Amino acid sequence: MIRAPLSITAVLDESAELVRATAARWAGLLLLTSLPYYFLQAVFLDRILELGAKATEYGNLLRSTAYLTVLAFLLSLWGRAVYARACRLAATRGEAVGREALRVPGPALVNYIYVASLCALIGWLTFFTVFGPLLAVMVAGLAVGTMELNERPGLREPFRILTGYGRVVRIQVALVFVFLVGFLVALTNIMAAFQIGFWLLSSIGGWDIPKWSLLLSGSNRRFVLMLLAGGVLAIQPFWVAANVMLIRKAGAQETGDDLRVWFEELKRT
Amino acid sequence: MTCAKVLCQECATQWDGIWHCAACLASRRGATVQRAPILGWVLVIAASLLILFCSARVMVWTGALLAGLS
Protein backbone atom coordinates (compact mmCIF):
# COMPACT_ATOMS: atom_id res chain seq x y z
CA MET A 1 0.00 0.00 0.00
CA ILE A 2 3.06 2.27 0.26
CA ARG A 3 3.09 3.96 -3.11
CA ALA A 4 4.10 7.58 -2.77
CA PRO A 5 7.02 9.18 -0.89
CA LEU A 6 6.50 10.52 2.61
CA SER A 7 4.43 13.69 2.32
CA ILE A 8 1.27 15.13 3.85
CA THR A 9 -0.83 14.49 0.71
CA ALA A 10 0.42 10.89 0.39
CA VAL A 11 -0.34 10.21 4.06
CA LEU A 12 -3.87 11.65 3.77
CA ASP A 13 -4.55 9.89 0.49
CA GLU A 14 -3.46 6.45 1.70
CA SER A 15 -5.08 6.84 5.13
CA ALA A 16 -8.45 7.52 3.42
CA GLU A 17 -8.09 4.13 1.73
CA LEU A 18 -7.27 2.58 5.08
CA VAL A 19 -10.45 4.00 6.63
CA ARG A 20 -12.44 2.55 3.71
CA ALA A 21 -10.82 -0.87 4.22
CA THR A 22 -11.44 -0.90 7.98
CA ALA A 23 -14.74 1.00 8.06
CA ALA A 24 -17.09 -1.98 8.12
CA ARG A 25 -16.14 -3.31 11.51
CA TRP A 26 -13.28 -1.52 13.19
CA ALA A 27 -14.20 2.12 12.63
CA GLY A 28 -17.57 1.21 14.16
CA LEU A 29 -15.84 -0.21 17.23
CA LEU A 30 -13.69 2.91 17.48
CA LEU A 31 -16.76 5.16 17.37
CA LEU A 32 -18.70 3.02 19.85
CA THR A 33 -15.86 2.97 22.37
CA SER A 34 -15.16 6.70 21.96
CA LEU A 35 -18.80 7.77 22.22
CA PRO A 36 -19.07 7.58 26.07
CA TYR A 37 -15.82 9.54 26.47
CA TYR A 38 -16.83 12.47 24.27
CA PHE A 39 -20.37 12.42 25.65
CA LEU A 40 -19.07 12.63 29.24
CA GLN A 41 -16.65 15.40 28.28
CA ALA A 42 -19.57 17.36 26.86
CA VAL A 43 -21.58 16.68 30.04
CA PHE A 44 -18.63 17.87 32.16
CA LEU A 45 -18.26 21.11 30.19
CA ASP A 46 -22.03 21.60 30.28
CA ARG A 47 -22.03 21.34 34.09
CA ILE A 48 -19.09 23.75 34.31
CA LEU A 49 -20.88 26.31 32.15
CA GLU A 50 -24.16 25.78 34.00
CA LEU A 51 -22.60 26.22 37.44
CA GLY A 52 -20.51 29.21 36.44
CA ALA A 53 -18.85 30.98 39.37
CA LYS A 54 -20.54 28.53 41.79
CA ALA A 55 -18.56 25.58 40.33
CA THR A 56 -16.12 25.57 43.26
CA GLU A 57 -19.05 24.75 45.58
CA TYR A 58 -19.91 21.59 43.59
CA GLY A 59 -16.58 19.77 43.83
CA ASN A 60 -18.10 16.32 44.47
CA LEU A 61 -20.42 16.53 41.45
CA LEU A 62 -17.61 17.66 39.15
CA ARG A 63 -15.17 15.11 40.56
CA SER A 64 -17.61 12.21 40.04
CA THR A 65 -18.16 13.31 36.41
CA ALA A 66 -14.37 13.61 35.93
CA TYR A 67 -13.77 10.08 37.28
CA LEU A 68 -16.45 8.69 34.97
CA THR A 69 -14.84 10.57 32.06
CA VAL A 70 -11.45 9.05 32.89
CA LEU A 71 -12.99 5.55 32.95
CA ALA A 72 -14.59 6.21 29.56
CA PHE A 73 -11.22 7.53 28.36
CA LEU A 74 -9.64 4.13 29.17
CA LEU A 75 -12.30 2.37 27.09
CA SER A 76 -11.74 4.80 24.20
CA LEU A 77 -7.97 4.16 24.35
CA TRP A 78 -8.60 0.43 23.95
CA GLY A 79 -10.85 1.15 20.98
CA ARG A 80 -8.18 3.37 19.40
CA ALA A 81 -5.52 0.69 19.97
CA VAL A 82 -7.67 -1.96 18.26
CA TYR A 83 -8.44 0.38 15.37
CA ALA A 84 -4.77 1.35 14.96
CA ARG A 85 -3.86 -2.35 14.81
CA ALA A 86 -6.62 -2.97 12.25
CA CYS A 87 -5.25 -0.09 10.14
CA ARG A 88 -1.70 -1.40 10.38
CA LEU A 89 -2.79 -4.94 9.39
CA ALA A 90 -4.95 -3.61 6.53
CA ALA A 91 -2.04 -1.49 5.28
CA THR A 92 0.27 -4.50 5.33
CA ARG A 93 -2.12 -6.92 3.62
CA GLY A 94 -4.10 -4.53 1.47
CA GLU A 95 -7.40 -6.16 2.47
CA ALA A 96 -10.01 -6.09 5.27
CA VAL A 97 -8.91 -7.41 8.65
CA GLY A 98 -10.62 -10.06 10.80
CA ARG A 99 -10.66 -10.72 14.52
CA GLU A 100 -6.86 -10.60 14.81
CA ALA A 101 -7.18 -6.81 15.16
CA LEU A 102 -8.49 -7.47 18.68
CA ARG A 103 -5.23 -9.13 19.71
CA VAL A 104 -3.36 -5.94 20.61
CA PRO A 105 -0.02 -6.93 22.23
CA GLY A 106 -0.06 -6.24 25.99
CA PRO A 107 3.16 -4.14 26.13
CA ALA A 108 1.95 -2.00 23.22
CA LEU A 109 -1.43 -1.38 24.88
CA VAL A 110 -0.10 -0.47 28.36
CA ASN A 111 2.62 1.78 26.93
CA TYR A 112 0.04 3.50 24.74
CA ILE A 113 -2.34 4.01 27.69
CA TYR A 114 0.57 5.46 29.68
CA VAL A 115 1.59 7.99 26.97
CA ALA A 116 -2.00 8.91 26.07
CA SER A 117 -2.85 9.47 29.76
CA LEU A 118 0.19 11.72 30.10
CA CYS A 119 -0.93 13.65 27.01
CA ALA A 120 -4.43 14.05 28.49
CA LEU A 121 -2.93 15.34 31.74
CA ILE A 122 -0.70 17.83 29.88
CA GLY A 123 -3.65 18.84 27.71
CA TRP A 124 -5.77 19.74 30.76
CA LEU A 125 -2.84 21.37 32.59
CA THR A 126 -2.06 23.63 29.64
CA PHE A 127 -5.70 24.07 28.57
CA PHE A 128 -5.53 27.88 28.66
CA THR A 129 -2.40 28.12 26.54
CA VAL A 130 -4.12 26.57 23.42
CA PHE A 131 -0.66 25.52 22.22
CA GLY A 132 -0.34 22.92 25.03
CA PRO A 133 -3.44 20.87 24.08
CA LEU A 134 -2.37 20.96 20.40
CA LEU A 135 1.05 19.60 21.35
CA ALA A 136 -0.63 16.91 23.48
CA VAL A 137 -2.84 15.93 20.53
CA MET A 138 0.25 15.66 18.30
CA VAL A 139 2.15 13.45 20.73
CA ALA A 140 -0.94 11.30 21.35
CA GLY A 141 -1.28 10.88 17.57
CA LEU A 142 2.30 9.76 17.21
CA ALA A 143 1.82 7.45 20.21
CA VAL A 144 -1.07 5.63 18.53
CA GLY A 145 0.97 5.39 15.31
CA THR A 146 4.03 3.93 17.05
CA MET A 147 1.99 1.82 19.48
CA GLU A 148 2.80 -1.55 17.94
CA LEU A 149 6.53 -0.83 17.90
CA ASN A 150 6.53 -1.14 21.72
CA GLU A 151 7.80 -4.63 22.47
CA ARG A 152 8.23 -4.35 26.24
CA PRO A 153 6.47 -2.29 28.88
CA GLY A 154 8.54 0.52 30.35
CA LEU A 155 8.39 4.15 31.35
CA ARG A 156 11.07 5.22 28.86
CA GLU A 157 10.43 2.74 26.01
CA PRO A 158 7.51 4.61 24.33
CA PHE A 159 9.40 7.92 24.47
CA ARG A 160 12.52 6.31 23.02
CA ILE A 161 10.43 5.15 20.05
CA LEU A 162 8.65 8.51 19.77
CA THR A 163 11.93 10.45 19.65
CA GLY A 164 13.10 8.08 16.91
CA TYR A 165 10.32 9.51 14.75
CA GLY A 166 11.23 13.14 15.46
CA ARG A 167 11.81 13.75 11.76
CA VAL A 168 8.07 13.41 11.00
CA VAL A 169 7.16 16.31 13.29
CA ARG A 170 6.81 18.72 10.37
CA ILE A 171 4.26 16.46 8.67
CA GLN A 172 2.54 15.86 12.01
CA VAL A 173 2.12 19.63 12.53
CA ALA A 174 0.64 19.90 9.02
CA LEU A 175 -1.68 16.96 9.81
CA VAL A 176 -2.96 18.72 12.94
CA PHE A 177 -3.87 21.80 10.90
CA VAL A 178 -5.51 19.73 8.16
CA PHE A 179 -7.57 17.92 10.77
CA LEU A 180 -8.54 21.21 12.43
CA VAL A 181 -10.04 22.23 9.09
CA GLY A 182 -11.55 18.74 8.78
CA PHE A 183 -13.14 19.22 12.20
CA LEU A 184 -14.81 22.46 11.04
CA VAL A 185 -16.06 20.74 7.88
CA ALA A 186 -17.42 17.83 9.98
CA LEU A 187 -19.17 20.31 12.29
CA THR A 188 -20.82 22.04 9.33
CA ASN A 189 -21.94 18.71 7.88
CA ILE A 190 -23.42 17.46 11.14
CA MET A 191 -25.20 20.78 11.69
CA ALA A 192 -26.55 20.63 8.11
CA ALA A 193 -27.68 17.01 8.63
CA PHE A 194 -29.64 18.05 11.74
CA GLN A 195 -31.21 21.00 9.93
CA ILE A 196 -32.20 18.87 6.90
CA GLY A 197 -33.64 16.20 9.20
CA PHE A 198 -35.56 18.85 11.11
CA TRP A 199 -36.84 20.41 7.90
CA LEU A 200 -38.03 17.02 6.59
CA LEU A 201 -39.73 16.11 9.87
CA SER A 202 -41.42 19.51 10.10
CA SER A 203 -43.46 18.60 7.03
CA ILE A 204 -45.00 15.61 8.87
CA GLY A 205 -46.47 17.57 11.78
CA GLY A 206 -47.98 16.24 14.98
CA TRP A 207 -45.09 17.32 17.17
CA ASP A 208 -43.90 20.48 18.88
CA ILE A 209 -41.89 22.22 16.14
CA PRO A 210 -41.15 25.51 17.95
CA LYS A 211 -39.67 23.58 20.88
CA TRP A 212 -37.42 21.48 18.61
CA SER A 213 -36.29 24.49 16.58
CA LEU A 214 -35.02 25.96 19.86
CA LEU A 215 -33.42 22.70 20.98
CA LEU A 216 -31.58 22.21 17.67
CA SER A 217 -30.23 25.74 17.39
CA GLY A 218 -26.90 27.35 18.19
CA SER A 219 -28.45 29.06 21.21
CA ASN A 220 -28.81 25.69 22.97
CA ARG A 221 -25.51 25.09 24.81
CA ARG A 222 -26.02 21.33 25.08
CA PHE A 223 -26.69 20.99 21.37
CA VAL A 224 -23.51 22.98 20.58
CA LEU A 225 -21.43 20.81 22.94
CA MET A 226 -22.85 17.63 21.38
CA LEU A 227 -22.08 19.02 17.92
CA LEU A 228 -18.46 19.62 18.97
CA ALA A 229 -18.25 16.08 20.36
CA GLY A 230 -19.76 14.73 17.12
CA GLY A 231 -17.24 16.67 15.03
CA VAL A 232 -14.28 15.20 16.93
CA LEU A 233 -15.85 11.74 16.72
CA ALA A 234 -16.35 12.03 12.95
CA ILE A 235 -12.69 12.80 12.19
CA GLN A 236 -11.23 10.34 14.68
CA PRO A 237 -10.98 7.26 12.36
CA PHE A 238 -9.15 9.41 9.79
CA TRP A 239 -6.84 10.86 12.44
CA VAL A 240 -5.81 7.43 13.78
CA ALA A 241 -5.39 6.01 10.25
CA ALA A 242 -3.29 9.02 9.19
CA ASN A 243 -0.96 8.55 12.14
CA VAL A 244 -0.58 4.83 11.52
CA MET A 245 0.14 5.53 7.85
CA LEU A 246 2.60 8.31 8.71
CA ILE A 247 4.66 6.06 10.98
CA ARG A 248 4.46 3.17 8.52
CA LYS A 249 5.64 5.32 5.62
CA ALA A 250 8.43 6.86 7.69
CA GLY A 251 9.55 3.37 8.76
CA ALA A 252 9.39 2.08 5.17
CA GLN A 253 11.53 5.00 4.03
CA GLU A 254 14.12 4.10 6.66
CA THR A 255 14.33 0.41 5.70
CA GLY A 256 14.10 1.03 1.95
CA ASP A 257 10.80 -0.88 1.64
CA ASP A 258 9.27 2.04 -0.25
CA LEU A 259 11.97 1.79 -2.92
CA ARG A 260 11.51 -1.98 -3.19
CA VAL A 261 7.74 -1.59 -3.72
CA TRP A 262 8.37 1.21 -6.22
CA PHE A 263 10.78 -0.99 -8.24
CA GLU A 264 8.27 -3.87 -8.19
CA GLU A 265 5.53 -1.56 -9.47
CA LEU A 266 7.87 -0.23 -12.16
CA LYS A 267 8.74 -3.79 -13.25
CA ARG A 268 5.06 -4.69 -13.43
CA THR A 269 4.26 -1.70 -15.64
CA MET B 1 23.58 -8.64 8.39
CA THR B 2 25.31 -9.48 11.66
CA CYS B 3 27.90 -11.78 10.03
CA ALA B 4 28.68 -9.12 7.37
CA LYS B 5 28.64 -11.68 4.52
CA VAL B 6 27.82 -10.44 1.03
CA LEU B 7 24.61 -12.09 -0.19
CA CYS B 8 22.18 -11.51 -3.03
CA GLN B 9 18.65 -10.32 -2.14
CA GLU B 10 17.13 -13.76 -2.81
CA CYS B 11 19.33 -15.38 -0.13
CA ALA B 12 18.66 -12.70 2.50
CA THR B 13 15.53 -12.35 4.61
CA GLN B 14 14.34 -9.16 6.23
CA TRP B 15 13.39 -9.25 9.89
CA ASP B 16 12.54 -6.11 11.86
CA GLY B 17 13.85 -4.02 8.98
CA ILE B 18 17.30 -5.69 8.97
CA TRP B 19 18.57 -8.15 6.35
CA HIS B 20 19.82 -11.51 7.72
CA CYS B 21 21.36 -14.60 6.12
CA ALA B 22 19.91 -18.06 6.92
CA ALA B 23 22.57 -18.83 9.54
CA CYS B 24 22.08 -15.52 11.37
CA LEU B 25 18.30 -15.98 11.30
CA ALA B 26 18.63 -19.52 12.71
CA SER B 27 20.82 -18.28 15.56
CA ARG B 28 18.32 -15.51 16.33
CA ARG B 29 15.46 -18.02 16.30
CA GLY B 30 17.39 -20.33 18.63
CA ALA B 31 18.14 -17.57 21.14
CA THR B 32 16.01 -17.67 24.29
CA VAL B 33 13.13 -15.26 24.23
CA GLN B 34 13.54 -12.67 26.98
CA ARG B 35 10.28 -12.02 28.76
CA ALA B 36 9.43 -8.47 29.73
CA PRO B 37 10.41 -7.90 33.34
CA ILE B 38 7.49 -7.81 35.76
CA LEU B 39 8.82 -4.52 37.14
CA GLY B 40 8.20 -2.87 33.78
CA TRP B 41 4.56 -3.95 33.80
CA VAL B 42 4.02 -2.82 37.38
CA LEU B 43 5.70 0.54 36.80
CA VAL B 44 3.79 1.38 33.62
CA ILE B 45 0.41 0.33 35.04
CA ALA B 46 1.01 2.18 38.32
CA ALA B 47 2.21 5.30 36.50
CA SER B 48 -0.80 5.20 34.15
CA LEU B 49 -3.27 4.87 37.05
CA LEU B 50 -1.59 7.72 38.92
CA ILE B 51 -1.61 9.94 35.84
CA LEU B 52 -5.28 9.13 35.16
CA PHE B 53 -6.18 9.98 38.76
CA CYS B 54 -4.25 13.27 38.49
CA SER B 55 -5.95 13.94 35.13
CA ALA B 56 -9.38 13.73 36.77
CA ARG B 57 -8.29 16.16 39.51
CA VAL B 58 -6.70 18.57 37.03
CA MET B 59 -9.81 18.36 34.86
CA VAL B 60 -11.94 19.55 37.81
CA TRP B 61 -9.39 22.24 38.69
CA THR B 62 -9.27 23.54 35.09
CA GLY B 63 -13.06 23.35 34.86
CA ALA B 64 -13.49 25.38 38.06
CA LEU B 65 -11.00 27.94 36.77
CA LEU B 66 -12.85 28.09 33.45
CA ALA B 67 -16.18 28.52 35.24
CA GLY B 68 -14.72 31.33 37.30
CA LEU B 69 -13.74 33.15 34.15
CA SER B 70 -17.12 32.77 32.45
> Which residues of chain A are within 8 Å of residue B41 when distances are taken between CB atoms?
110, 153
**Given an 8 Å threshold on Cβ–Cβ distance, is B40 in contact with A121?**
no
For residues A110 and A260, the model is more confident at A110
Nearest CA in chain A to B46: A114
| Confidence (pTM) | 0.82
CB A54 within 8 A of CB B41: no
Q: Is A149 on the interface with B (CB under 8 A)?
A: no
Note whether ipTM > 0.85 here.
Answer: no
pLDDT at A209 over 90: no
Distance from B45 to chain A by nearest Cα, in Å? Answer: 7
For residues A81 and B23, the model is more confident at A81
Gap between the Cα atoms of A178 and A164, Å rounded: 24
Nearest CA in chain A to B56: A66
Gap between the Cα atoms of B33 and B51, Å rounded: 31
pLDDT at B1 over 60: no
**Given an 8 Å threshold on Cβ–Cβ distance, is A127 in contact with B62?**
yes
Average model confidence (pLDDT) across chain A: 86
Gap between the Cα atoms of A191 and A198, Å rounded: 11
Query: Across the interface, which of B17, B44, B58 has its CB nearest the CB of A111?
Result: B44
Gap between the Cα atoms of B60 and A45, Å rounded: 10
Q: Is A73 on the interface with B (CB under 8 A)?
A: yes
Query: Across the interface, which of A48, A107, A117 has its CB nearest the CB of B36?
Result: A107
Mutate which: A152, A159, A248, A258, vs B, most B CBs within 10 A: A152
Amino acid at A35: L
pLDDT tens digit sequence for B27-70 = 777 665 555 578 889 999 999 999 999 999 999 999 888 887 76
For residues A25 and A266, the model is more confident at A25
pLDDT of residue B47: 95
Alpha-helix runs per DSSP H in A5-58:
8-22, 28-51
Distance from A221 to chain B by nearest Cα, in Å? Answer: 14
Query: Across the interface, which of A49, A113, A127 has its CB nearest the CB of B48?
Result: A113
Angle at B64 between CA A126 and CA A117, to 5 degrees: 45
pLDDT tens digit sequence for A119-160 = 999 999 998 888 899 999 999 999 999 998 888 898 998 999
Q: Phi first, then psi: what are they for B9, rounded to 5°?
A: -65, -30
Q: Which of residues 160-219 of A touch B (CB under 8 A)?
A: none
**Given an 8 Å threshold on Cβ–Cβ distance, is A66 in contact with B57?**
yes
Phi-psi region of B34 (alpha: psi -120 to 50; beta: other; left: phi over 0): beta
CB A154 within 8 A of CB B43: yes
Gap between the Cα atoms of A41 and A47, Å rounded: 10
CB A87 within 8 A of CB A241: yes
Q: Which residues contact B60 (CB under 8 A, 6 or more apart)?
A: A59, A62, A63, A66
pLDDT of residue A89: 86
Q: Which of A139, A141, A113 is nearest to A126 (CA)?
A: A139
> Which residues of chain A are within 8 Å of residue B40 when distances are taken between CB atoms?
107, 152-154, 157
pLDDT of residue A262: 60
Phi-psi region of A220 (alpha: psi -120 to 50; beta: other; left: phi over 0): beta
For residues A110 and A195, the model is more confident at A110
Q: How many Cα atoms within 13 Å fall on the side-chain side of residue A193?
A: 9
